[in-house]
A and B are shown apart, each in its own frame.
Chain A
Amino acid sequence: MTRLAIIDYGSGNVRSVQRALEAAANAHEIRLDVLLTDDPDRIRQADRIVLPGVGHYADCAAGLIARTGVTEALNEAVFRSRRPFLGICVGMQLMADVGREDVETRGLGWIPGAVERITPSDPNLPVPHMGWNTLTDMRDHPLFNGLGPEPHVYFVHSYALKAEKRDHVAARCDYGGKFVAAVARDNLFGAQFHPEKSQKAGQLLLANFLRWKP
């Protein structure tokens, strides 16, 4: 039985994330016990951690920091206990040093880099970047197993993480220029897209995460 903690810090779509993970576990016969929590002790006890996030960077960061001991518990779980970690959308962006959505806000500082507004080279391309787009430049990573080349995944965002280190970039996506669509480092993985909303491709990625042994 895998104990999975989804960090519930008042940001958006925890339920979608939970249901998608449970469905992925079911389909791949993975025994899963999901907990929505902001309790530092429970985060420390979890086998795997998912940090979702929808909305405004500063709000999400404030929501996370406002919960006493959560940041410390996350740091301990991912660095000392080496628990597999998945950040989704703003949850992925929070892995960066800093976010620059309206105001400059500190992130968790796990992936050196900043979160900045996307600026498509074609001024006619709408922002937010919203809809199904393909992953490109995919690194060989266990979470991508079985996804094939250039899978379609669902994006909804106006900001993206500019990673300082190339080897932290797991995949990119082209929208009037390439931006970072996924980051990976040791036991950490972050997706700018929404695997919980990406139908079959998303289900496979989530199942891969649940089986991942970094």
Chain B
Amino acid sequence: MLKVRIIPCLDVKDGRTVKGVNFVDLRDAGDPVALARAYDAQGADELCFLDITASHEKRATMIDVVERTADACFMPLTVGGGVRTPEDMVAMLRAGADKVAINTAAVLDPAILTACARKVGSQAVVMAMDVKRVEGGWSVHTHGGRNDTKQDAIAFARRAAELGAGEILLTSMDRDGAKTGYDLDLLRAVRDVVRVPLIASGGAGNVQHMADAVTKGGADAVLAASIFHFGEATVADAKRAIAAAGAPVRITEDA
């Protein structure tokens, strides 16, 4: 049976993690590779790196981070941030990523999803959507959430999957950082219209929120950042909560 995935997410800027991390005694808590190793040891099912480096020129730094992570961790890795073309995707995959998340570029020109899927396979193409509640639904935002495209998020998710996205990483901007739980209505609404895997993101304040995202929201995977980084919960805690809610998880000997 396929298991629910727990995905710690790290924001990386100029090759360093941005938010503080203190869940484990690390010599260098700003080193994404050291953190990746720690989460690997915790039994994380997958890792996600989001590169928030402003300039395209510094992309080489992220490639280096991905390469060093892939050298040390033999687990699935999704990388996103600043990806615009199929060639950007190929570069990340060659560096050792397994999936690449695309956001703004695909919202502005959804046909890119088809080009990317044709190049690397849809299983490697993750549509990362930042969405915000509006009257009567949710609207897709771009540029790290700064621009409101006024596009309906549910319709866009369906279209993205049709065009070639193999997975939807769905971030609720309203809940991001609020720790009040994932937006379950949003998850359910997208779940009802797409058949590709769905990752819940934004709002995890405790492990019960993660279980709810799966059992009530219909998510296939849950992504979280600060709750793990600050040691409020371990990956194993999250798995126990999800298992207690009746969903299957992968219990490792470490976790």
A: residues with CB less than 8 A from B are 12-16, 19-20, 23, 54-56, 59, 90, 123-134, 152, 154, 156-158, 174-175, 194, 196-200, 202-203
Q: Please, which residues of chain A bring their CB within 8 A of the CB of B198?
A: 126
Cβ-neighbour of B70 out of A19, A90, A123, A134 (below 8 A): A19
B122/A133 in contact, CB under 8 A: no
28 sample A-B contacts, Cβ–Cβ < 8 Å, listed by A number:
A12-B93, A13-B93, A13-B98, A19-B71, A54-B124, A59-B118, A125-B2, A126-B195, A126-B198, A126-B220, A128-B123, A128-B167, A130-B167, A130-B197, A133-B1, A154-B75, A156-B76, A156-B98, A156-B124, A157-B123, A174-B1, A194-B98, A196-B74, A197-B76, A197-B98, A198-B75, A199-B74, A200-B252
Docked-complex contact A203 and B74, CB < 8 angstroms: yes
Supposing A13-B93, A54-B93, A131-B221 touch, asked if A199 and B3 sit within 8 A by C-beta, the answer is no
| Chain B proximity of A1: nearest CB distance (Å) | 21
Residues on B with C-beta less than 8 A from A174 are 1
Among A14, A20, A54, A127, contact of B74 (Cβ-Cβ < 8 Å): A20
Residue of B at shortest CB range from A15?
B96
Judge whether A130 and B123 touch: CB under 8 Å. Answer: yes
Neighbour of A156 across the interface among B99, B221, B250, CB < 8 A: B99
Q: Given A12-B93, A126-B196, A199-B75: A132 and B119 within 8 A (CB)?
A: no
CA distance A135 to B249 in the complex (A): 15
Complex Cα distance, B40 from A73, in Å, reads: 38
Out of A16, A130, A133, A157, name the residue touching B220 (CB < 8 Å): A130
Which chain B residues lie closer than 8 Å to A55 at the CB level? 119-121, 123-124
Find residues 63-82 in chain B having any chain A CB closer than 8 Å to their own CB.
67, 70-71, 74-76
Quick one: closest B residue to A90, CB to CB? B121
Contact partners of A175 in chain B: CB under 8 A: 2
Q: In the complex, how many angstroms separate the beta carbon of A66 from the nearest chain B beta carbon?
A: 15
A152–B249 alpha-carbon span in the complex (Å): 10
Contact of A152 (CB < 8 Å), options: B71, B74, B121, B250: B250
**Which residues in B have their C-beta under 8 angstroms from that of A19?**
70-71, 74, 96
